[in-house]
Structure formats: structure tokens, C-alpha cells
Structure 1
């Protein structure tokens, strides 16, 4: 077995921290402000317990499912995340890993690799859109995604201007010019393996976002695109409905945490929604997504596919989410730590770890398929669930 192999997402995180420059790792790891939501996303899974069986388990388990009109080998999809300077191949390496393990990928419009390159590595790709610029700007980005062959759209709504962290945010430059290289040199020299990977390519980490530009145009910097987003009026549900009308394939809204907004998403015609708080990088103090999942799945799960992202660190976490009504989950930090630890092989390793954990949990629960999971497989403590946006319930659950 390769010495780079790891047996848990926690080990991937440790190896990524060991390999990456401090500011690069911090940008991946941290949440907004105190990190209350980031911590709750993870800790809430630990409050759920299993109700296992001791005899009659199935000798074979089926982990595959169908999400957004595509068959996947396991109920874990790659969530779109921004500039992936943790590795020179970035999103292309992630796309190859997802394809190798039979699952789909979301590509951020703030990604570091052009959609045309990423989709060549994995044709089961959903392009993520922020409501940035004018409707014409958004349509141009949609047309580029359509021309490249994207099979669906992810509209991310769970991101407001939450920039502060109590411990201090890492310095992220606008561009890697000579001055910034001098500033960054001490910490990068302490991580020679990471530096050598980039040296082999003959290129510096690229902080531009090519998918925010029309083909042939110069790509804006990450902060240039971020600035345009900050100056754009936030979308209404009428805007969501309009955008849905521009795309005739699968359309997922990411960022729903309230029952009333889940219903608004259904009314807007979406194919699916993801219960999300942007991985704890939005409004700090928002409840963990797994707490909000049951009420949303009960309210709209018979009308649209319900997914979840936030806090997935083990295959057993995936099983808990499915038992509470999710069709599948999206992962972010988990695969980024794998990418930082060992490139494409590290992302494949993370997916293998999750697959093994899902299979083990199904075996212990006496299930033949992920489709058989239900609330009866869990011990859910009183007061665990948080139902937001429902007039018939208080916010304490």
C-alpha cells in the first residue's frame, strides 16, 4: 500500500496541514467569525446514534443511487468550491478522481480551471452559478457551460458577506506578483513538497477565475469577481424562477436552511435543493444542516430531490443524512484535504474512505441498499432537529 494512503478524513486533514503552507491550509479549514456553525455542522452528527441489527445482515450492499438524472456509484457528490490552489491540477485532479470513483462533480464559477478542461476529465459535471453581475452576464456564463457540455446547474444562494474570523483571516493576494512572492516565501519554503509540485509545472498558483469570463476574454482575479458579486443586488425568488427558465436540465439550489424557502424553491421549479450553510462560511450561528434536514425533507422531499452538505467526515455521516431524508450528500473540505494531502489519489482515497464507511454502516444496520435507510435506523435525541421557517413550529425544534 502507498505510504501516502490514509484511512480517515481526519488523517487526510492532518496530512494536508503538514504538506500545505499555513495560509493555504487555513483558507480551507476555517469558518466565519467564531466558527460556531462550522463546529456544529460536525458535532451534530455525533449526537445521532444507530440502531444496529446483529443477525440477518445482507452479504452484499448496494451503494449506488440516482441523483439529478445521473447514476452514481455512491451517494456522495463533489461540492463546488472556489480556487483550488492546494494542488497545481486543482479541479481537473478532482474531476478525474470523481470519475474514477463513479460520481458527479460540481464546478465553482470561482474555480481555478476552465470548465472545458474540467469537463473533459469528468463529463458528469454541474456548473455552479453565483448571482453576479447583470442577467446578461449570467446568461453568458450559462451559455459557456451549456456549450462545454455541463449536465446541470447549481445556483448557490448561501453566501453573504461574512469575511471576518475571530483568529484572523489568512492573507490572500489579488495577484502573485514579485512583492507577494517575497511575502509568501518563508511559509512556502517550509513546505518544500508543495513548492516542488508547482515548480515542476513552471507556473505559480493562479488566483484568477476563468469561468467568470467569456471564452477568449481575460479572466478576472478572484477578488475582482468577488467585488462584482458584492456590488450585485441579491436575487429574489422571481430571479431564481427566471434563471430556472433559462436552463432546461437539472437545476439545484444550494443554500436552503428553512422550510418556507424550501417551498419557495419548489415553486420556482428547481429539480433539487441542498440543505446548506456554506460549510460554516456564511452567517455564523446558523444551525447545523443535519438539524434542519428532517423538516425540509418531510416538507418537500416528495416533490424535489433533497441533498445535504456540511460536516460530512465519515461514511456513517452519509448514512445518517440518508436516514433523515437526503438523497445524497455533497462534500467540500473532505475532498480538498485529500487533494492537499496527495492530489488526485488523495481525493480518490477520501471517496474510498467514505464508501467503506457507508458499506460498513449498511452491514451493521442490516440494509441491502442505501434506499432502505430510514429514521428507524437512528436514535435521534429530543430537541435535535431545528425547524426554521415554519409558522406551526418554534425555532427550538
Structure 2
């Protein structure tokens, strides 16, 4: 049972007590083509796996008999007050997982006391999502200097968004071979075998055909498949361009009056340059292992980036977080908060808004338990003294 207004009569269909439990349940509920989009990665999925396993490279260092019986999980990130240091990451085409995805996500975020970062390629428009919310949230935008980018920034500001995440690691779509092999695209490449797989998921298929909420609501004329094709073409032509450079980011900084964070940073020198240009912070991210394979996992580069810019800008981690201990590790290494993408999408697939609330509740419980066992009262107190690198070369280094 979790707080934040969770429906007391509702229970997840299975015994779901971890994010991984939700992952397995989500896989059963989604057609194979959609699942490979949700859970897949680029090339050999090397970075996708490392994002998760790299957390094993850090040990937590607890103190005992600290006398803390009340713990504070609240923080401020991206200029927004959070009840815990976890936000929902921008995920495109959320309607493929559940037709009401973006609306469910923003409502669930508010019920859990946190915020949602809405993707440019969302299935519901930024105005529709703002209308479903009662608090301020974040809008994610791909870089561009043309009319599409300018119009989206104008619309986002008018709708009440004051924080912009500019995602810069998609100059071209990554080589997601799993999606290509299963025909995942806009529109999808259907075969009799794939159509049969859809038929084995009648609830998903019914909702998809009835509601027509795929993507494209922000840069197209609607949310159906035809409009989604149009939106992808516009986004790739106007926003995801390899010719864009730091001058284009400077232009966006000039145009946007609110807080601006650069998302997709893996190098300290890039983080420094972004802050020098006036960014309020950076999001350490490799796009969930969906873009360039064989780049480092985000937790591995977080300390260096935090050391370079953490004293004058905010650092947020994105990638691989599945446990409350992951969140604690990231904060100890210099992050103000973390973003979770796939975990909340698993919750959407299983239970919609209620599933997302439950996933966030699982993480909240795990964070609080980890703080108790670490002997830490407040997430703001986490620092490098609470972690150390695992697997030292000599056993004598284990002695504190």
C-alpha cells in the first residue's frame, strides 16, 4: 500500500513488488513489436545493459546507530519541488503502450508528488497534457532554429511550462535492430504473423483502433497513424539534424525565457560549455542506450560531470535506474535527481495511471528504506562519503 491518493480498492493483477516485476508483466501485455520499441536499444544493446549493470560498480557505505527515525526525501530539481528525487523522463510514442499514456503519466506524477517531462513526440499535445495537470511540468524539445522549434517554445510557454529539456543526442535515429527486425515503424510493417500477435493482445488492439493515439500531437495534426507519419517526417526534417551546433543552442537559450537544461550530455567539457552558454543544468543521458552503442553508462560519467559543473549548475541523471538504491547512489555521486523512463512505461502498460503511481511508490519505499539503512536523514545529505567503488584490486582496501 502506498500513499499519495492511491485507490485503496485497487491491486495490481499480479504480485508486483519490484520494477522488474512490472517489466515482466508489461512484456506479457504488449505485442512483440511494441515491446521491442519500449525495451530495446541500439546495435548490440551493449550500452543498454551497462546502464543497469554499472550500478554494481558502486558500494554503499552505511553508518549505524545514527538515531534517525524520520527521513526527508523531498528536493528541488529543474526548478520544481519534488516529494522525492525521481521525475518521469520524456518518452515518445507513449500512446503505443497505453492510449491514454501521457495523461496517465502526468496525473500519476502529481499523485506521487513529482513531475513529468513531456516529449516532443508525445501522443497527446502539450496543451492537452497541461490541461490535465494542476501543477507545472517540463517540456522536452529537440534542438532547432526554425519555425517549428520557435512555435513549440511559444506554445509551451503559453501552456505554462517554464522548464525546457533540450535533447541533443538524436541528430539521427539510432540503429535499433530489434525494431527493424519486427517491422516496428510509423507505420508498422505488418505480416500475417505480426497481425496474429496483435490478435493475441485484444485489449491493446481494441484501444489502439478505437482511440488512435499513437504520436504526433505536437507537430502533426492529430494522434492517428497517418498523423504520426507526418509528425515523424516533420521532426526529422526540422528538429533532428546533424548540422545543428552550439550556436543553435545559444539561439534557443535566447528565445526561451525559462529554465533550460541540456539533455544527452556524457562529457564534462560539453557540460561546461552548456553551462557557459547559460544552461541552468544538464541531464546526463545516453538516451537509454537507444542511440550510439558502446558509449559509457551514465552512472560512470556522472561523477566527472558533477565535479565539473555541479558547483554552478544542476546535474540530473537519466539511465538505468530500477531501484531505490540506484537513486541513492546517483545522488551521492552528485545528481540532484534522476529521471526514470522505462519503469514508468512498464507501469502504464500494466495499470495505466495506477500502475505508474505504484511503480513510483515502489521506488519511494526503496529510497526511504535505503536511507534508513545508510543512517542518513535527508537526501540532501548524501555525498561521496556514502559510496565507494566496488571490486578493489586488493582485499586490504576493504578496511575503512
Q: TM-score, normalised by structure 2?
A: 0.88
Work out which of the residue numbers 104, 118, 124 in structure 2 matches 1:107: 118
Change (3 A) 1:283 1:92: same
Distance 1:185 1:21 in 2: 10
Change (3 A) 1:244 1:213: farther
Matched, 1:56 2:66: yes
Among 97, 106, 109, the residue aligned to 1:95 = 106
For the residues of structure 1 that align with 2:254 and 2:173, how far apart are their CA atoms?
A: 30
CA displacement 1:291-347 (0-9 Å, x = unmatched):
000011011001110001000001110000000000000111111111111111111
Cα 1:233/1:257, change in 2 over 3 Å: closer
- Distance in 2, matches of 1:219 and 1:148, equals 22
Q: Go from structure 1 to structure 2 and tell me whether the alpha carbon gap of 1:303 and 1:383 turns closer, same or farther (over 3 Å shift).
A: farther
CA shift for structure 1 position 181: 9.2
C-alpha contact (below 8 Å) 1:99/1:121 kept by paired residues: no
Distance between the aligned counterparts of 2:211 and 2:26, measured in 1? 21
Aligned residues: CA RMSD = 2.3
- Give ranges in structure 1 of 5+ residues lacking alignment: 385-397
Matched with 1:275 is 284
CA distance in 1, matches of 2:372, 2:58: 18
Q: Distance in 2 between matches of 1:299 and 1:253?
A: 15
1:34-49 matches, within 5 Å, as 34-49=44-59
- Does structure 1 residue 333 correspond to structure 2 residue 355? no
Post-superposition offset of 1:235: 2.1
Q: Which residue in 2 is equivalent to 1:78?
A: 88
Aligned to 1:126: 138
Does 1:260 pair with 2:283? no
2:33 aligned to 5, 23, 40, which one?
23
SS at match of 1:212: coil
Q: Does residue 1:65 correspond to 2:75, yes or no?
A: yes
What's the CA shift for 1:3?
Answer: 3.9
2:218 maps to 1:211:
yes
Q: Does 1:322 align with 2:331?
A: yes
- 1:289 and 2:301 aligned: no
Work out the CA distance in 2 between the residues paired with 1:374 and 1:163.
35
Q: Mapping of 1:154-303 within 5 angstroms?
A: 154-167=165-178, 169=180, 170-175=182-187, 180=190, 184-198=194-208, 202-204=210-212, 206-213=213-220, 221=229, 222-229=231-238, 232-303=241-312
Residue 139 of structure 1 corresponds to which residue in structure 2? Answer: 150
- Work out whether residues 55 and 326 of structure 2, in 8 Å CA contact, stay in contact via their aligned partners in 1: yes
User: TM-score, length-normalised on structure 1?
Assistant: 0.89
* Partner residue in 2 for 1:32: 42
* Aligned residues of 1:212 and 1:219 also touching (Cα < 8 A): no
In 2 relative to 1, CA 125–234 (structure 1 residues): closer, same or farther, beyond 3 Å?
farther
> What secondary structure is seen at the aligned counterpart in 2 of 1:255?
strand
Q: Which residue pairs with 1:116 in the alignment?
A: 127
